[in-house]
Amino acid sequence: MRLAGKVALISGGARGMGAAEARMFAREGAQVVIGDVLEADGRGVEADIKAKGGEAIFARLDVTNEADWQKAVGMAQSRFGRLNVLVNNAGIGGGGRIEDTTVEDWDRMMDINAKGVFLGTKSVIAAMRRAGGGSIINISSQLGLVGTDNSSPQYQASKGAVRLLTKATAIQYAREGIRANSVHPGPIVTAMTERRRADPAQRQLMVSRIPLGRYGEPDEVAYGVLYLASDESAFVTGSELVIDGGWTAQ
């Protein structure tokens, strides 16, 4: 098992990519803390993991709330004894042009997508230091690398912030054996992309920009996150893992 003996905290673990990561991590031997504001869905993932013989616990986690982060980290340590892996997966999306974006829209997305990653990272450093090191994996986007005309400016800015915060974290904590890497998925089949996928014109537009000609699946991202969480990536830090069907290769 690739994560045997490791304890992982996954934000946004109740649905989509986060739920796929939680299930995959548990199958690979990790003890998993599922952090989310969606309690019913999160407890459903917890129950599913346990039913299959894995170990998991749900923690209510609003990623914009520092106290929630501290409680989730504390839960990981009290329940499982340590914390080795953090996946900053929680995030929201949206469309719109700069001139139509309100300050409230901007602040909400930056709070969840960027400040949430900062707070998660800040909250796990001491625990990972006690564990002798760890791996922080931040879910950015292909739009954290390139711009596009049909996504909101705040989404793209927030995901770009995640990319650079990851590099700062990697440099600051490398000597302590704490690694940090960003993952940049393209369009994935999740609840976040459901509305766009349901519109034939929007779906065709998105697929036309993906050389592989389809949306990705959550497990296809989770396998990349699994690699970065495992000791197989022990010499990898400050890097970007792009899983976008070729979007950024054009």
Residues involved in catalysis: 155
The rounded distance, in Å, linking the Cα atoms of 86 and 138 is 8
- Whole-angstrom Cα distance, residue 206 to residue 246? 12
Tokens of 136: 């922080």
Q: Give me the residues paired with residue 119 across strands.
A: none
Q: Would you say how long the chain is, in residues?
A: 250
What are the residues whose beta carbons fall under 8 Å from the beta carbon of 200, sequence distance 6 or more?
none
The DSSP annotation for 43-66 comes to HHHHHHHHHTT-EEEEEE--TT-H
Task: Please tell me the distance from the alpha carbon of residue 59 to that of residue 110, in angstroms, as a whole number.
Answer: 23
Beta bridge partners of 188: 216
